[in-house]
Amino acid sequence: MTGPTVSSPHEVTDPAAVTLLGHDRTRRVLGAFLGREQTVAGAARETGLDLRVVHRDVQALVRAGLLRVIREQARAGRPVKMYRAHADDLFVDARHLPQQAHDGKTAALDTLFHHAAGREFRHALSDFAPGWGLRVYATTDAPGFAVLEGPRSARPLSPLDEWQGPPARMLSGTPTARLTAAQVAEVQRDLILLMRKVESFSAANAGTGQPVLLRLGLAPLTEDECRNLHR
């Protein structure tokens, strides 16, 4: 048995085309024309974007050589243009992508996550009777103390062992650890499986349920960066 045939993608180097492919919205618009013919109105319905926005994006994609007019379909009044992507498999070398756009989107997602998580936690605390605060207490383990955010009556346990706070629909954590290369690979696999699980849940819900943002990350630190975190 042989696997599916893998074709080489069309490499995009034109600066205008690269810029458009680096933008999430124009990628969504282009996606409506990959592998099929489509009208501007059809792309607007599929993406849920405003028709005028899609029309502007389509014209920009045509000028950049990413879209082309296949034919015109007769309609009452002006004929309707049918577009299709220049290629159905596109590749942009990461060295050509605008780093500023990527950094800006990452920062926006971080800001949105912290805002949404904070809002949910404040809402949960408003219905939580025990007083909530920061607790610093002595331990027998190095470095001799521990810090815990929780209710005044909480037992001195890590939230990883037992969550004693309000039942908020959020989770935020930034643990640091020392891991071997094999352990890093194992954690990566676990996080990928988690993302797949969330994706599967969302597909099964078919548009129902509460919108959530899952923010995951894992990155190696230098020794100086690790020390600075604990200063």
Q: Give the pLDDT confidence score for residue 174 in this predicted structure.
A: 85
3-state class (DSSP) for residue 81? strand
3-state class (DSSP) for residue 72? strand
- For 148-158, b where at least 16 C-beta lie within 10 A, e where not — what string? bebbeebeeee
The Cα 220–Cα 229 span in angstroms is: 13
Per-residue pLDDT of the chain (231 residues; tens, 9 = 90+): 455 555 789 999 999 999 999 888 999 999 999 999 999 999 999 999 999 999 999 999 999 999 999 999 887 778 899 999 999 999 998 888 777 666 777 888 899 999 999 999 888 887 776 677 777 878 888 888 878 777 777 777 777 777 777 778 888 888 899 999 999 999 999 999 999 999 999 999 998 999 999 999 999 999 999 888 877
Measure Cα distances from 109 to 88, 169, 180 in Å.
29, 18, 29
- Helices 24-31 and 51-63 sit at what angle, rounded to 10 degrees? 90
Q: Give the pLDDT confidence score for residue 22 in this predicted structure.
A: 87
The DSSP line for 133-155 is: EEEEEE-SSTTSEEEEEEETT--
Q: Give the pLDDT confidence score for residue 129 in this predicted structure.
A: 66
- For domain 10-96, the question of CATH label 1.10.10.10 is answered with yes
Global pTM value? 0.64
Q: What is the residue extent of each domain of the chain?
A: 10-96, 98-170, 174-231
The Cα 56–Cα 38 span in angstroms is: 15
The backbone region for 22, taken as left when phi is positive above 0, alpha when psi lies in -120 to 50, beta otherwise, is: alpha
* Residue 7 DSSP one-character state: P
Task: Classify strands 132-138 and 10-11 as parallel, antiparallel or unpaired.
Answer: unpaired
